[in-house]
Amino acid sequence: MPYSLDNLLVIGISSRALFDLEVEEAIFQDQGLDAYRQHQLDHEAQILKPGAGFALVKALLKLNQLPPGKRLVEVVIMSRNSSETSLRIFNSIQHYGLDISRAVLAGGAQLAPYLQAFNVSLFLSLHEDDVQAAINAGVAAALLYKMPERVDDLEQIRIAFDGDAVIFSDDAERIYQTQGIEAFERHERENACKPLPEGPFARLLIALSYIQHNFKAPDGHALPIRTALVTARSSPAHERVIRTLRAWNIAIDETFFMGGVNKSAVLAAFKPHMFFDDQHGHCERAANVVPTGRVPYRQST
């Protein structure tokens, strides 16, 4: 019987996001494909260091150990590498004991056409064009930033999200950007009882909420996932957020209405395995303290 990826949380991640391949990327950019290929073959037995998405992937794979032993998460390596240069990636996966057996090795071709074929729920990469193409295709995706110097290895999976243009659509964000704070606040007051439209990460949050409340950690008490909303919104724009999550039947564990205050200190205290935001400035500051991914705006075709 064929193996089905339906009803699984499928994470697609590039090899460069899972492992530190910055030296190899520099060789490719400066010396070309042949030099890169030879370098990978010559260093096939050399284990790669963890990359920007490693901590999140390792944590999410632990969900497959929850009782009653049902598989919840599948991770697929999605790389522009060819199969010839991929053995180093698989050797590193085996070294770290990661439960990853599936891969897309596109040999330089675009990855976006294969996202839906593998039912990908979240795509993580360090290549902006691949991330943009994923977002344009309706798949939650983020461009990862360089890892902070220290990443805490917590048992509980912790994920933090920005609100507008990430969990929610960018409709309200566009009003703020084009018309200013007063127009934004007026719009949110007038629509306080109207749920915000879904953003690119809404379905991912809903899936995590389902896992969170239907599967217990081995001790039977602690929830396996803890989520946080860290948004630049503040009163009076808070009400619509609260009512929207209520309408979606989602309870986020921790919510921070920052009102423009730098998010980094709150994120350092929460210690997420990944923080997702749409603003480069927010991401750049957050990346100094926690693993961070930027969610680009969807482009119309």
Average pLDDT over residues 44-57: 94
Average pLDDT over residues 195-217: 88
195: tokens are 């749920």
Closest CA to 297 of 226, 199, 213: 199
Backbone angles phi, psi at 109, to 5 degrees: -80, 165
**For 144-148, 164-168, 211-215, which range has the lowest pLDDT when averaged over its residues?**
211-215
Torsion of CA 130, 136, 137, 143, to 10 degrees: 40
Name residue 239's amino acid.
E
Residue 134 reports pLDDT greater than 90: yes
pLDDT tens-digit map of 263-282: 999 999 999 999 999 999 99
pLDDT for the residue 18: 97
Please, which pLDDT band fits residue 138 given cuts at 50, 70 and 90? very high
Average pLDDT over residues 67-86: 87
* Residue that wins the pLDDT comparison between 273 and 216: 273
Spell out the CATH class of 157-294. alpha beta
Domain boundaries, the chain: 9-144, 157-294
Active-site residues: which are they?
162
Say how far residue 295 (Cα) sits from the centre of its chain. Answer: 9
Residue 221 reports pLDDT greater than 60: no
Cβ neighbours of residue 134 closer than 8 Å, sequence gap 6 or more: 111, 112, 115, 120, 123, 125, 140, 141
pLDDT for the residue 268: 96
Name residue 167's amino acid.
I
DSSP one-letter string for 38-68: HHHHHTTTSPPPB-TTHHHHHHHHGGGGSTT
**Three-state DSSP class for residue 232:** coil
148 burial (CB, 10 Å; 0-12 / 13-18 / 19+) is: middle
pLDDT tens-digit map of 146-161: 988 777 777 789 999 9
pLDDT for the residue 143: 98
pLDDT for the residue 253: 94
Please, which pLDDT band fits residue 173 given cuts at 50, 70 and 90? confident
pLDDT for the residue 2: 63
pLDDT for the residue 220: 57
Cβ neighbours of residue 285 closer than 8 Å, sequence gap 6 or more: 262, 263, 264
Rounded Cα gap, residues 83 and 41, in angstroms: 11
Spell out the CATH class of 9-144. alpha beta
Angle, helix 181-190 to helix 238-247, in steps of 10 degrees: 40
Peptide bond into 197 cis (omega under 30): no
Length of the chain: 301
Average pLDDT over residues 2-21: 88
Rounded Cα gap, residues 176 and 183, in angstroms: 7
Q: What is the pTM of this model?
A: 0.92
Own/partner contacts of 240-247, CB < 8 Å, gap of 24 or more, are: 240/188, 240/191, 240/192, 240/193, 240/194, 240/195, 240/196, 241/163, 241/168, 241/196, 243/192, 243/193, 243/195, 244/168, 244/195, 244/196, 247/195
User: What's the chain's average pLDDT?
Assistant: 91
Residue 90 reports pLDDT greater than 80: yes
Closest CA to 295 of 110, 52, 123: 123
pLDDT tens-digit map of 247-261: 999 989 999 999 989
Average pLDDT over residues 177-201: 91
